[in-house]
Structure 1
């Protein structure tokens, strides 16, 4: 038997209430999450190929491709790259989603929409795009990779080749904001705060 006057005893006695509050806060967190626009993610990949020179080992070539990928990932957040993606004519994208914003808001939105990341050890650059409509997320990711293939050399010089290895694939469910993660965090915060109140009672 736990002594109900010590902290463990109080927690044991108030377990049902603590758990209930955790559930309620989790539900509240989901409700607040749903107030924000839900976005889908599309992922595409390009391979960065550094032209190997005689006597250069494969590891060095991959490391070089990774450094190039890191540079490209930074450049993809810029207005210049946004313009290059917009120039891709094969995609019916409503650019007013960006153009109706002022310059600062447009840049911030673009940086949230296109999220590049280097897959280390492979020379692969992953290009993720986020949008409320799955089809638009897919088009944005494919347009971004096409822009890299067509004009990425402007950022890295002629010794690098960029090739699309995976066209965009869209998530089945919205990924931003993360409903499951927010619910779990809400549950943890709820039981922690209620547990603290029970112990200090």
Structure 2
């Protein structure tokens, strides 16, 4: 939705949002057409159940009144993408007991899959396809690492981590999501940016073993 950039022109208020003011008329005097009017751009997302998010201002532009595309603005923004309920990836630790040894690789891998959302943007149906593209592990020992794959169960150790000291370590996984959107059955367009989703943390207990010489009880 585009509204003249004037105080009080708020589509969330129960009042007209089309009034003009001196600021909107004078702001664009340096553009190619000095008679342009400054408009605020607002977006909102309507869910399949009919509920709609509040209108959010997402920019401003100088336009002629005849250039304003009405109330429908079929553009899916990064803010819209980040408001979607993107799923949290599962965190898997091997050994499954959550106990491991110092200097021994511990397998950590994520379980996540692409997600599809059907939303309504300003009365226009939008199909959003989201996919996980990066997985960042924070190991609780001051280090972290980002992978382009989620990893896999043993014997795949491509996303394993090796702790060098004993202790309790809190492991956190952050998944980065990218996506595309299609407006009213049109071509798939890339979402301009990514979203990050943090999974619940898990604790890994790192222990240290020692070799000791003991007498043979048979002697």
TM over 0.5: no
Higher strand proportion, which one?
Answer: 2
TM-score bracket for the superposition, by shorter chain length: under 0.3
Higher helix proportion, which one?
Answer: 1
| Bigger relative contact order, structure 1 or 2 (CA pairs below 8 A, ≥6 apart) | 1
TM-score, normalised to structure 1's length?
Answer: 0.24
